[in-house]
């Protein structure tokens, strides 16, 4: 009798295990850390820690939660999908020493559950377009894209069994280019737009750039490859000599040490240099 009960229990547990499935990506049950839906997707009611829901109405077992672009290192926890907004689930602090154009220290407006303000690759290109070196790079890439577009059109107009290039290796490379540049027209349109804008924005930064906080200045260490400061990623470092009055936030291009910080006077500089010389002499 007992043997039959044990066998029945084992079979029941095995069947339940087979029925169990995982919750949709980014969601979990109200048992913290468990993504086993216990046989019913409707049990997946929470967004995991550092995951948020961006839709209007969260539907358990249907809605998906997305990973935060910038994760919390402390106080991260799972929350019910209906309240697990980006503002609650994610780290929204601006990088050290930075603020938005409106002077807000968060990277988005609190009252709106908007998309996280992280610059896309295109935004970074536009952000850097006042640098002549980038203009040259764009021109080169633009010409390459036009050539590739011609090759793509040529391949599309050929019969399926016609080999355009004799060597298999070259043919393979061309096939890869056709697949990779599927959105060729979009890329060319984007680069054309940037080239047109180059003459209009040689000095002025994009209006959407995050401004730098008072009494902080940019440093070359935090600039990207083309000498461009990346909003939402780079930080600013504090001035050693703080301006007592009249300090204000500036865009990275003008937030140099001389503009943001109090520069030492001639006598102060002479005194510092003299003390340094004496110190080196004593060493």
State which of 179, 198, 217 marks the end of a domain. 198
State which of 198, 217, 232 marks the end of a domain. 198
| Res 98: pLDDT | 64
Q: What is the pLDDT of residues 96-153, one digit of tens each?
A: 666 665 555 555 433 333 333 333 222 333 333 334 444 555 556 556 666 555 555 5
Q: How many domains are contained in the chain?
A: 2
Q: Over pLDDT 90: what percentage of the chain? A: 5
Among 161-165, 191-195, 205-209, the range of highest mean pLDDT? 191-195
Same-domain check for residues 79 and 141: no
Task: Kindly state whether residue 154 falls inside one of the protein's structural domains.
Answer: yes
Same-domain check for residues 70 and 141: no
Task: Kindly state whether residue 117 falls inside one of the protein's structural domains.
Answer: no
Q: What is the pLDDT of residues 5-30, one digit of tens each?
A: 555 655 555 555 555 578 888 899 98
Task: Kindly state whether residue 11 falls inside one of the protein's structural domains.
Answer: yes
Task: Kindly state whether residue 135 falls inside one of the protein's structural domains.
Answer: yes
Task: Kindly state whether residue 32 falls inside one of the protein's structural domains.
Answer: yes
Give the chain as a DSSP string. -HHHHHHHHHHHHHHHHHH--BPPTTEE-SSTT--B-TT-GGG--EEPTTEE--SSS--TTT---EE-SS--SSS---EETTT--HHHHS--BPPTTB--TTS-SBSS-TTS-PPP----HHHHHHHTTTSHHHHHHHHHHHHHHHHHHHHHHHHHTS-TT--SSSSHHHHHHHHHHHHHTTTHHHHHHHHHHHHHHHTT-SSPPPTTSPPBPTTEE--GGGB-TTS-B-TTT---EE-SS--SSS---B-TTT--HHHHSPPPPHHHHHHHHHHHHHHHHH-
What does the pLDDT average to over 185-189? 54
Task: Kindly state whether residue 111 falls inside one of the protein's structural domains.
Answer: no
Mean pLDDT across the chain, nearest whole number? 59
Domain that holds residue 187: 131-198
Task: Kindly state whether residue 40 falls inside one of the protein's structural domains.
Answer: yes
| Res 91: pLDDT | 82
Same-domain check for residues 81 and 142: no
Residue 223 has pLDDT above 80, yes or no: no
Same-domain check for residues 139 and 84: no
Same-domain check for residues 23 and 84: yes
State which of 180, 198, 216 marks the end of a domain. 198
Task: Kindly state whether residue 207 falls inside one of the protein's structural domains.
Answer: no
Same-domain check for residues 138 and 193: yes
Residue 45 has pLDDT above 70, yes or no: yes
């Amino acid at each position: 009798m007992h043997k039959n009960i044990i066998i029945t229990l084992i079979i029941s547990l095995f069947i339940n295990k087979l029925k169990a499935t995982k919750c949709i990506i980014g969601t979990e049950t109200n048992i913290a850390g468990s993504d086993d839906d216990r046989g019913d997707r409707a049990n997946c009611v929470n967004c995991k820690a550092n995951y948020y829901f961006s839709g209007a109405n969260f539907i358990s077992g249907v809605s998906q939660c997305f990973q935060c672009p910038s994760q919390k290192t402390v106080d991260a926890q799972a929350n019910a999908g209906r309240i697990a907004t980006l503002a609650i689930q994610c780290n929204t602090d601006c990088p050290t020493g930075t603020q938005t154009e409106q002077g807000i220290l968060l990277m988005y407006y609190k009252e709106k559950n908007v998309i996280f303000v992280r610059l896309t690759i295109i935004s970074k290109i536009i952000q850097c377009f006042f640098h002549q070196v980038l203009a040259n790079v764009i021109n080169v890439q633009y010409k390459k894209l036009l050539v590739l577009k011609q090759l793509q059109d040529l391949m599309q107009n050929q019969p399926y069994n016609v080999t355009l290039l004799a060597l298999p290796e070259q043919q393979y490379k061309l096939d890869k280019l056709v697949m990779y540049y599927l959105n060729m027209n979009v890329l060319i349109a984007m680069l054309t737009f940037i080239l047109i804008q180059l003459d209009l924005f040689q000095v002025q930064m994009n209006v959407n750039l995050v401004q730098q906080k008072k009494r902080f200045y940019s440093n070359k260490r935090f600039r990207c490859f083309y000498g461009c400061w990346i909003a939402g990623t780079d930080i600013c470092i504090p001035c050693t000599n703080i301006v007592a009055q009249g300090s204000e936030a500036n865009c990275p291009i003008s937030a140099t040490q001389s503009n943001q910080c109090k520069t030492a006077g001639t006598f102060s500089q002479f005194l510092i240099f003299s003390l340094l010389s004496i110190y080196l002499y004593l060493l």
